[in-house]
Amino acid sequence: MGLNTELMSSSMHIGTHIDALSHFTTENDNHWYNGFSGDRYSTNFGPAKCDIAPTPPMVMRGVLLDIAGYKGVTLIPNNYIATAEDCEGCAAWEGVTLEPGDAALVRLGNNWRTTAAAMRGRT
């Protein structure tokens, strides 16, 4: 008798996921969406307000919009905001139609290396 097994250790914040409205905080009181303060609404089991846990599983068609490819570059410049016009033009360029209920994955060419390098350059 034998056994093959694996162990994986990783952050919970990896892979395809949907961020909750409590994912990012801002300003001195560390509040997130709708003014909920992290000091008051963060718990050992996650946020008490605006958590993603109640969201049911979703199954839908996914469409990749390669904005960097559409614009003919490897990497979209830092701080560029992809617009609705970019997405519509890219879809036409790719020959795809976005339908109600589709999930769009928008590729800008950024990755963890380019993002980390850009953040190190900030003052």
Q: For residue range 67-98, what is the model confidence (pLDDT) as tens digits? A: 999 999 988 887 888 999 999 999 999 999 99
Total-model pTM: 0.59
Phi, psi dihedral angles at 46 (to 5 degrees): 110, -175
pLDDT band at 63 (very low <50, low <70, confident <90, very high): very high
Pick the most confident of 24-28, 99-103, 112-116: 99-103
Mean pLDDT of the 13-22 span: 76
State the average pLDDT for the chain. 86
* Residue-wise DSSP of 64-121: EEEHHHHTT-SSPPTT----HHHHHHHHHHHT----TT-EEEEE-S--HHHHHHHHHT
